[in-house]
Amino acid sequence: MFGICNLAIIPLRFEPSDKSEIVSQVLFGEHFKILEKRNQWSRIKLQYDDYEGWVDAKQYQVISEANYEQLSKETIILNSDLIEYITIANNQLIPIPLGASLSFLNNNEINTQNYEFEGTKVNGVKDKRNLINTAYMYLNAPYLWGGKTPFGIDCSGFTQMVYKLNGYKLLRDASQQATQGEALSFIEESEPGDLAFFDNEEGNIIHVGIIMENNYIIHASGKVRIDRIDHLGIFNNETNRHTHKLRVIKKIV
């Protein structure tokens, strides 16, 4: 079976329970494969990044395998404003966040509710220099474990969505993203838009941010914020100390 998210944002949970940890979110228009059903819960695998988790079966629309395959081939079209609205019958509105997927709206077999969108869209690969402009749209978004929107986002959700809005694909977690791209030897080799990864005492990648000009970095820690970065890691001017230990810088695009 296959499905598509037809609500603004739904939680993707570690276990089939409303009390379970949220590991990520499924945004409007994202489609997925249904791997297992258990009572009111469905274990899914997102088509975009193969991320798995449990969603409430009442919070998505079932689609056919043919429509899943067709949608997977379509150019990804995304909402490019902080928040917009989908219009349905009787002037009802569905609010959708930045990065919601709109590719299915022209498919009458999926869009059975006649959803309409009149906002600003974005698609295709953008110049790498645009990554920082997109990152600024999330500035001051509160940190939320598993979040992917300007109303709550984690470090790797932030980098994934910024890249996605510019036509580049990143995996979901920081440790997964660290397997992508080309490693740089020195911070001086980095360019705006490159990714910096940080590890813990055990050597596990636990954080990621986007390099800016002049040794600054934008990342989600408490909120999406801008800090200094040097060869040791991230330096927080408010606390006057390093908060994250630099492991590697990667050039993805």
User: Taking a C-beta distance cutoff of 8 angstroms, is the pair 171, 159 a contact?
Assistant: no
- The pLDDT of residue 25 is 98
Asked if the model's pLDDT at residue 90 lies above 90, the reply is: no
For residues 183-198, give the mean pLDDT: 96
Write down the pTM of the prediction. Answer: 0.97
Q: Please list the residues that pair with 85 across neighbouring strands.
A: 95
For residue 89, name the pLDDT band (cuts at 50, 70, 90). Answer: confident
User: Taking a C-beta distance cutoff of 8 angstroms, is the pair 228, 237 a contact?
Assistant: yes
For residue 5, name the pLDDT band (cuts at 50, 70, 90). Answer: very high
User: Taking a C-beta distance cutoff of 8 angstroms, is the pair 194, 186 a contact?
Assistant: no
First-last CA distance in the chain: 34
119-138 pLDDT per residue, tens: 999 999 999 999 999 999 99
Reference 39, options 17, 65, 64, 10; nearest CA is 17
State CA 195 to chain mean position distance: 15
For residues 178-194, give the mean pLDDT: 96
Count Cβ atoms within 10 A of the Cβ of residue 210 and give its class: 0-12 exposed, 13-18 middle, 19 or more buried: buried
Q: What percent of the chain has pLDDT over 90?
A: 97
- Kind plus residue range of the DSSP H or E element containing 122: strand 121-123
For residue 237, name the pLDDT band (cuts at 50, 70, 90). Answer: confident
Q: What is the DSSP string of 27-64?
A: ETT-EEEEEEEETTEEEEEETTT--EEEEEGGGSEEE-
For residues 153-176, give the mean pLDDT: 98
For residues 73-83, give the mean pLDDT: 97
For residue 89, the 8-state DSSP code is: G
Torsion angle of the four alpha carbons 91, 76, 8, 31, in this order, in degrees rounded to the nearest 10: 110
